[in-house]
Amino acid sequence: MKQLFRNTRDQTRRLSYSLARIRTAVVCARGRARRGGALDGAPLLFEAAPGAAALLRSIFLIFGMVIRSFGQEGGGGIDVRATITGQAAFAGQLSDAPRQGSGMAAGVRAVLYPTIKLSEHWSVSGAVQAVSRPYYQADFTSTGNGVRARILQGNLSYTRVWNRGALVVRAGQVMSAFGSFLLRYDDADNPLTDAPQTYGYYKPVSTIGMTGAEADVTVGRVDARLQFTTSSSVNPRSVFASDQYANWAGGAGYTIRQGLRVGGSAYHGPYLSRNLPYYLPGEAKPRDLPANGMGIDGDWAIGHWNIRGEWQRFVLPYRAIPTFTQTAGYVEVQRVLHPRWFVAVRAGKLHSNFLSGGEEWSGSVGFRPNAHQIIKTGFIGTHSERNGHFDPIFIVQMTTTIHPLSLALK
């Protein structure tokens, strides 16, 4: 039973970005409690869309029929895991306009990761997130309170592993294949209390999933992935929304030695929708304005050190206004001091041709009271390129991982 879900976890979570990236991630996460489930934290398929509840019931009905049919093959099962984070944030931005509240805010984020293993090669995985507002740094400078639930990624996948590699094909709601940070987007995997500047709900690399299909392959030290979706990572669109256009993203990497990997990725496709405020009168048709992104990334784990970094460039074309470009990069260093203690720092910079970027520095000290919990105390300092302001943020997080359900289907 334990071996069944160990295989399920590896296939649905790590193999989807290839075995070469798995090796690097495992070394970087040395001493961490491992969890399973789908790739972490990207809101997906249908969010507050008309008919979503009926569609969800239909999907569950189909899953039940599929489980019964595949159950005859043996090797099936159901596994449910979760990550729950409680957070206290202290920031001057919380008391400034437009929020104008207390300088302290408490928040919670919970992500449920169900996995249904249909057979040796087939599985269905998903994620459901509930998060309070404000929780993310972007919430500190906007209005609104409450709790928002999202259905996070969900897909049907086929996995085939052989001696020197693996093949994974997935269809459904998928996360962007661009970049490398999304592998550690979950609070229990991210050693810091925030994400790099280009990652977020509506940033150049969105954490919201997109409808599409993806193939990942590993042969020896080389890994590659190719993804086709119905919307862009710059502006993910619900499957029920208008202005959906074919997009592609892909990447490749090479594992130079155990723990050391370098790679690159790119995406291309129309990104604008007519309901955006930046879609001005006289603008070209969205299908004629493809966004382009390119980036390189590296990951090096040696001894007690983990070093990661990315460089990215994005071009968002317009005709009614000047084309928007962004260039960004960061370096992240983590040091394990003791099986229970670690420290991590990140320095990043984002520059655009419209002075909307700046520098950001992050640091954290982490403590593991047991195998299922992490307490992080973090600092985030942002310097705005537009107005020169420096905004400090202090965050305390307690993250707990649980495993409430594990069943084998005979």
Domain spans, the chain: 2-409
pTM of the model: 0.80
Q: CA nearest 38: which of 204, 130, 136, 157?
A: 157
Where does 271-357 show beta strands of DSSP type E?
290-302, 305-316, 324-338, 341-352
Give the range among 238-247, 259-268, 382-391 with minimum mean pLDDT.
382-391
- Mean pLDDT calculated for residue range 199-227: 93
Alpha-carbon distance of 174 to 166, in angstroms, equals 19
pLDDT-derived band at 68, boundaries 50, 70, 90: low
Q: CA nearest 157: which of 165, 149, 167?
A: 167
pLDDT-derived band at 35, boundaries 50, 70, 90: very low
What's the CATH fold of domain 2-409? Porin (2.40.160)
The better pLDDT of the pair 51, 383 is held by 383
